[in-house]
Amino acid sequence: MIRGECVDCGPIELANVVVHAWSDSFTCSWTCTACGLPGAKECSPRIAGLLRNVGCPLDRVTVYEERGSGPPIGWDDVLDMVVELRGNDWWSELIID
């Protein structure tokens, strides 16, 4: 059992915990067992190792070089995307009529 904190429910048991390894840091994502909402958070190498040791899968993230103009993609953008992709209706929000 892995416990964490949901933004809506507070301290709670987490499910579907995945460790995401970036080139120089780690994040983890999960599903709240109370409300079902996804969550994500940056974590230290120590926490990533502990999660791996208890069986959480590892996702190696590859970030390709950005092209085009506009501000660079930041942590908030990436974590927002993870939350969106774990939702049920991200595809319908992506489609533009």
Q: What is the contact surface with Zn ion in residues (CB under 5 A)? A: 6, 8-9, 32, 34-35
Residue 19 or 32: which CB sits closer to Zn ion? Answer: 32
Inter-residue long-range contacts of 74-80, CB under 8 Å, 24+ positions, other chains counted: 75/42, 78/27, 79/27, 79/40, 79/41, 79/42
Structure tokens at 96: 């533009």
Residue 4 or 21: which CB sits closer to Zn ion? Answer: 4
For residue 7, the minimal CB distance to Zn ion (Å) is 7
For residue 87, the minimal CB distance to Zn ion (Å) is 13
Residue 2 or 21: which CB sits closer to Zn ion? Answer: 2
Half-sphere exposure at residue 16, Cβ-oriented, CA atoms within 13 angstroms: 12
